[in-house]
Amino acid sequence: MNDDISKRRLGRGLAALIGEMDQPIPVDEARAPVSPDRMTPIEFVSRNPRNPRRYFDETVLQELAGSIRQHGIVQPVVVRTVGTGRYEIIAGERRWRAAQLAGLVEIPVIIRDVDDRTALELAIVENVQRADLNPLEEAMGYDQLIEDHGYTQNDLGEIIGKSRSHVANSLRLLKLPEPVRDMLADGSLSAGHARALVSTSDPTALARQIVAKGMSVRDAERIAQNDIRGVTQGRQTVASQSKDSDTVALERSLTDRLGLDVTISHKGSGGQLRINYKTLEQLEEICRLLEAR
């Protein structure tokens, strides 16, 4: 499949390819249901192993199962054929899971002829657009599209209707250690909390402190900045021992003016000037200042 065609198609929105996919809701609140291609035994339908969504709230599933018992599945599950009489879910895994809890023998399906790549793209984009993913699942979905199919951050931003910086900040969450990612996945930490910890010396310890004390995102950013500043100052202290007083004074002056850590190292008649930024917004501000000159 041509890459540009695939991305343009996804960029137009999922409804053009796979129709409406809202979860079942009471009939008096529902929009006109989409007509299924057929009814199929529920045991002939399997989940998409590439679906980035891994967590399903059991309470929500039980509530949805109750709605299905009363009204049935209002919107069909979107699937693709993976064998004779067998189907794999593209969109609607929550409905499929709830239908099993409700004891349904068969479910309505819409069948779409798509390959592995497109099925993955649709699964990720559909979940992101519906805000069904937790921040870690969202980041893993973006990473999967980038690694497997060569998407750029700009491509993803255009497809899902998010900014490039949103995509970049999501991907940064994958740098966190496993214990912190677990807290993010189960909702103990928000994405804002987690992003603040990415560049700290001990994200796990700080994450546990944030959760134990019920800190706000602003509080988390404050203790993270203090941690990062302490590590940086320690490094600068060691480095400054071999620097002359004029160089140290210049570093401090530039650091104060930019609000970012600046280090200068001399090598012969030249050297290096290093500006350390912590967020993409800070990088964009540096670029803006340079372009304004």
Catalytically active residues are 93
- φ, ψ for residue 114, nearest 5 deg: -130, 155
Longest Cα–Cα distance in the chain: 80
Look at residues 92, 98, 93, 75 and name the one whose alpha carbon lies nearest to residue 20.
75
Pairing mode, strands 270-276 and 261-267: antiparallel
Cβ pair 125, 115 in contact under 8 A:
no
Structure tokens at 74: 């209002």
10 Å Cβ neighbour count for 131?
8
Residue 35: is it exposed, middle or buried by C-beta count within 10 angstroms (0-12/13-18/19+)? Answer: exposed
DSSP state of 133: S
Tokens (6 digits) for 254 = 């530039």
Using an 8 Å Cβ cutoff, are 86 and 46 in contact? Answer: yes
Tokens, residue 181: 């990612």
Which residues, other chains included, contact 291 with Cβ-Cβ below 8 Å and sequence gap of 6+? none
